[in-house]
Amino acid sequence: METRNKESRMVRVVQKFSSHEEAARADRAYYRSLTPEERVGILLEMVNMHMDEDVAAQGLQRVYRIVKRPRR
């Protein structure tokens, strides 16, 4: 069953699997079949779905942490 949201170009697909491992293999095969540009497009579409448009236009927040480790 496929449905298409008017606000999005995301297609929702329902599939049944006999195990979690089978579902994970299907997911990996699907994402491997996509081009890098398609993968980034999916990521950006999901970011835009969960952020206000003005925030999404600014880009993702940079997060980093400096870890001080003892010298060897």
* Token output for 5: 């949201």
pLDDT in tens, 5-56: 445 566 788 999 999 999 999 999 999 999 999 999 888 888 777 776 666 5
| pLDDT for the residue 2 | 45
DSSP H or E segment with residue 39:
helix 36-50
| pLDDT for the residue 51 | 73
Whole-prediction pTM: 0.54
Q: How far apart are CA 62 and CA 51, in angstroms?
A: 15
Domain ranges of the chain: 2-58
Check if the beta carbon of residue 48 is closer than 8 Å to that of residue 9. Answer: no
- Please, which residues have CB within 8 angstroms of residue 13's CB and are 6 or more apart in sequence? 1, 2
